[in-house]
Amino acid sequence: MQYLIIKETKYDNIDNSFDVCNQSDDMDKAIDMLQGYKLIETEKNVSYTMLKYEDQKPFDLDNSISEVNHV
């Protein structure tokens, strides 16, 4: 299981962009990183969130989708 820190940049005339800024296997460390990103961000159109990513079958031949949960 991994925790991903996602940066969302909002735009007026085009779709928002999403970037993975960082990741961690430790939830407490990921929460600390998320809080750090939020503290140092000065742009109003940028926000951060954390997702829990569980890849139970990385090479599933049944084409099942890996589970992604919003934390």
pTM beyond cutoff 0.85: no
Query: What is the mean predicted confidence (pLDDT) over 27-53?
Result: 96
C-alpha closest to that of 33 among 44, 24, 45: 24
3-state secondary structure of 66: coil
| Residue 71 CA neighbour count, 13 Å, CB half | 18
pLDDT tens sequence across 49-67: 999 998 766 555 555 555 5
Cα distance between residue 44 and residue 39, in whole Å: 12
Higher per-residue pLDDT: 33 or 55: 33
State percent of the chain over pLDDT 70. Answer: 77
pLDDT at 28 over 80: yes
Domain residue ranges of the chain, discontinuous segments joined by +? 2-70
